[in-house]
Every structure is written in C-alpha cells, then in structure tokens.
Amino acid sequence: MCLEAHGGFEVMSCSSGPEALSVAENFASDLFLLDGMMPGTDGPATLAELHRNPTLADVPAIFLTAKVQPQDLANYFALGAKEVITKPFDPTVLPGRLLAILEGVGEVSMLDSHQGEAEIEDELAVLKEEFISIMAERIEEINTLLVKIGEGEWDGEAAGKV
C-alpha cells in the first residue's frame, strides 16, 4: 500500500465498519482513515461509534470518499472529521497530504470551500432574481409597444427604449 511504502505509515486495513470497530481497540491508532460508504456500517456511523470509546475519542479522522455533497461534508465535520479527501485521489501524494493535514500545514477544509461555494450560489440566486425582474420589465415594455403597434398608436418615439 502506498501509505506504507511512501509515507512510513503502519496501516491496519479493515474491509467494513464492524471490522474497524473490533480492530481499533487493539491497534494504537494515530489516525482513522474512513470511506463515507463502507459495507455494513458506513463511515460516519463507524466514526461516531469509534469516538464513543473514550480511548479512541481523540484519534483524528479523515474521510476518503466520493460522497461530498454539502450535507455529507457537514455530517463528516460534525462527527469530528479533521478533513475530507475527495475520490478519486492520487495515491502517490496521499501520504504527504495526510501528514500535512495532521500537522496542520496548508490545511484547507473542504467545508470551507463548500461554504464559499454556498456564498457564490447565494449571490448567483440574487443576481438571477435581479435578472428575472429586469427581464420581466423589458418584456412588459415590449408587450406594451406591440399592443400600441397593433392598434396603430405607436409613433416611433419609443424606438431605442427597448
């Protein structure tokens, strides 16, 4: 595994949440690396259970997952995740990235980036509403002119206003 070969990590790999729960007490963990979607008990439920154990409660957790919708991210961080790494990721840079996260070097939380995205989405929603309002006014002006043209009342003085 890349973490052992390139990062010097000692890795205890588990294939499911229940297996991780049974192994964790007997393995001196410095970090929990979890997937958001695991067989049996998913990653968030596994982390919640791991952190219920007083001897494991302070072990940091990082999620490696493709499940990164804003509500998923909020859930991971609410459970105490230190970071979320989106799949797919480059396994050759993973060891360095994990070390940087654990040491707090260059740490940029995905929650922060998604909060930034939420602010952008809010601003876009406001701009969209403004655009729709302006377009509604313009459509009303066009309709008024079309009615006047149809009734033969338009004298051309409104040309250029549309």
CA distances from 19 to 44, 76, 88 (A): 14, 20, 24
Last residue of a domain, one of 107, 129, 153: 107
User: Which CATH number goes with the domain that contains 25?
Assistant: 3.40.50.2300
pTM of the model: 0.60
148 and 94 fall within a common domain: no
Position 118 scores a pLDDT of: 65
114 and 65 fall within a common domain: no
The range of the structural domain enclosing residue 37 comes to 2-107
24 and 54 fall within a common domain: yes
Last residue of a domain, one of 91, 107, 123: 107
Position 105 scores a pLDDT of: 46
Last residue of a domain, one of 65, 80, 107: 107
Which tokens sit at 112?
A: 């922060």
Q: What is the pLDDT along the chain (162 residues), one digit of tens a residue?
A: 567 665 677 888 888 888 888 888 888 888 899 998 887 788 999 999 999 999 999 899 999 999 888 888 999 999 999 999 988 888 888 888 888 888 874 444 444 555 556 677 777 778 888 888 888 999 999 998 889 888 887 666 655 555
Position 46 scores a pLDDT of: 92
26 and 81 fall within a common domain: yes
